[in-house]
Amino acid sequence: MSFKDRLSDPRLRRAAKWTAIGSATAVVCGAAIVGIAAALMSRQLPDVSTLQNYQPKLPLRVFTADGELIGEFGEERRQLVPIDKIPKVMKDAVLATEDARFYQHGGLDTIGLARAVISNTLHGGVRQGASTITQQVARNMFLSSERTFSRKLKEALLAWRLEDELTKDQILEIYLNQIYLGNRAYGFAAAAQTYFGKPLQDITVAEAAMLAGLPKAPSSNNPIANPRRAVARQQYVIGRMVETGYLSQADAEKARQEPLKLRDAAEPSGLHADYVAEMVRQQMVAKYGDDTYTKGFKVYTTVARADQSAAYEGLHETIVDYEQRQPYRGPEGFVELPADSADNADVDTAVDDALADKPDSGGMMAAVVMEASPRKLVAVRANGDSVEITGRGLQAVQRGLVDKAAEPLRIRRGSIVRIARTGPQNSWEVTQLPEVEGAFVAVDPRDGAIKALVGGFDFNKNKFNHATQAWRQPGSSFKPFIYSAALEKGFTPATIVNDAPLSFDAAATGGAPWEPKNYDNTYAGPITLRQALEQSKNVVTIRVLDAITPAYAQEWITHFGFAADKHPAYLTMGLGAGSVTPLQMAAAYSVFANGGLKVEPRLIARITDARDQVLEDTPPKPADQAGRVIPARNAFVIDTLLNSVVKNGTARRAYGTLRRDDLYGKTGTTNDSHDAWFAGFQPTRVGVAWIGYDTPRQLGVRGETGGSLALPAWTRYMQGALKGVPVAKLDVPPGVTNASGEWMYDEYANGQGVQSLGVEAALTPIMPVEVNSGAPTTGPAPSWGTQPVIPAIPGQPAQPGQPAAPAQPDERNRILNMFR
């Protein structure tokens, strides 16, 4: 039957008619159903106008005073970057890949949808998506990712509404800041830091193309999880940029050939200020609660980048140097390796498993030994790099490489060791993780700003902040505060004190007999107070403290911020038997550095919201007379003594290195060398270094001192911190005189004051005199107002009117036993 005959057949005409009617009815009904569903759904859809004030979950970010990021806290890594601050190359790469007609369509791209359907049909699979950037924003902000018709319909409705409520740039800004891109990175600014370790503004075309390829499959296509797939996706993005006219063919070829330098999370990078960031986090949580982690607060600290870098490097190098002087303790562990070559897949798996719980620490990287001999060691790192070490790089671990090495020390195939780059040549060596800890604090004594703070060798290894939480005995670094008290009792730097063996019977101590000794167990006989501090003579300090009474000294040290109950009023206080933290010592030494004024250490300078609106601003407040706690002349005389310590005494190595005349400080070593200190300053920087074990024990087989261990960290810091800082001269305050080359209070310049102690049979009492304190005119009267009577030397009866401290034998014995 011909086609014409078929058309003339009534039955066929009726069938065609009803088919057409049915199809039209189905379309109308379908449209009606969709319309009704859309109408019903529209009532349940969220209000998209809330995105007019887009506020994503933004982490707390902590910066140095000069704007370097040092910490980020929150579930999502994200930076809110305005659309006009996002580089054009980044926007071009995203638009070319995700929505080339973004600025032409109204939320749904019908042309793009048709193109995707045709492409997917021809290639027999899903090769192109049809969701616009507006639809993706709607889905990410308001909907789930389930694949259902109702979700797609809601997505379309929301996309139309978004296009009505927001501008194209607003929608694109939300997308570029909100989209998840793998490794906890949300938004392209965070992804640039995560994958390339650089600001978004600095990325290249090749890097932008790799980032733009992430939205499709961020967890599996990122360059850390799957470098091969990430590169393939990057090449596709570059091709799309050429097709859409965003990139020339020549620039595309250049981008294709550019080698990518991914950030290696195992390599130490950035500024080491984790303890500072954690201190800020704790303060912010105390103030803002859980909002701390989602509101995008930016906290700018007082820490200076150069100071923090110098402090970290100084402490780190000092601890590493100390560790190199210690015996090798052996490998950290052992893993059985297959006998095949090092590139065998089973070997790689074994290495990965062995190093999974051995994170790198302080630049010391965990590695598994592949072969070992006294002359050569080959080890593999967690990132797969093979390292060969010879010569001096094996020197520290020779005990473990000899054939007869004891089993705990033996280094062999499968041993887990630490390797690090050291020395001027930056060559590899085998080392070991330090067990010793340390801390360093630097404060500007003029306003209390904390310029640097390092709370330990490695924050990831030990989060305990030794700078603020470690209460340790300060040893001889506490002596300047005793000498400061003595100046108010008539002593001068020229006072002669007998450095000779001294003993106290049970009646004098309230307990057992005690014989304090000098550190080196040698005695110089009669020497000046200046010489005694230079050489850190313990016996001289005890004689002085006994003369002025521990009770008076205990009250005096509270002017510097020390708590009296942390320093019991016994003679051992003079040898630093109390408890201090490094930060507390830095604040106390600031009083000497600024001429007698108390400053409170401060860390936070400014807090802003996510859009840089200032919430809190704490400008520096220079110390002034309202904060005076000791006379200016007292601080001046102590400064001259501390300067002598650096030039001629136990800290002279610092002077030999720095060659500056404006350095002041005191070494400190506690009993049995459990703690090593150096506290010192230049008038613009106070620095305090402490080194010791968390569970106190002797520092080294022969013991180390503050001068040999803590002083190098301080010196290295000052080398960096004082670059370009002119040498400062002390201003001579009223009330002091230079008599025969020695500074002293005016009233003691003509033979008055304490001339000697422990040399004659007894001291001549000194009549009370008024001291020009320079104290503020308001508030409580200062304690240094009147010169009290000096008590007799040990073994002689106390002078009339001298108060006696109440005896507490048990407590006294406990403290005295520390120094027997």
| 407 alpha-carbon distance from chain centroid | 38
Which residue type sits at 386? S
Query: Does an H or E element contain 5, and which?
Result: helix 3-8
| β-pair partners for 377 | 372, 389
**In angstroms, how far is CA 704 from the centroid of its own chain?**
27
Note whether 440 and 453 are within 8 A (CB).
Answer: yes
- Per-residue tokens: 408: 């705990």
Residue 422 phi, psi dihedral angles, 5° rounding: -140, 170
Counting Cβ atoms within 10 Å, is residue 617 exposed (0-12), middle (13-18) or buried (19+)? exposed
The helix or strand, by DSSP H or E, that contains position 310, with its residue range, turns out to be: helix 305-324
Among candidate residues 98, 173, 437, 534, the one labeled active-site is: 98
Query: 3-state class of 803 per DSSP?
Result: coil
Return the closest-CA partner of residue 497 out of 561, 448, 540.
540
* 578, two tokens: 């109390």
545 DSSP assignment: H
Q: Which of the residues 309, 361, 476, 484 is marked catalytic?
A: 476
Active site residue 437: no
Residues 6+ apart with CB under 8 A from 731: 595
**CA distances, 523 to each of 501, 513, 520, 526, 756 (Å):** 7, 20, 9, 9, 17
Q: Decide if 297 contacts 612 (C-beta within 8 A).
A: no
Q: Which amino acid is at 402?
A: V
- 173 is annotated as an active-site residue: no
**Residue 755 identity (one-letter amino acid):** Q
Place of tokens 């303790």: 329
> What burial letters (b/e) apply to 534-567, b meaning 16+ CB within 10 Å?
bbbbbbbbbbbbbbbbbebbbebbebbbbeeeeb
Q: Which residues are catalytic?
A: 98, 476
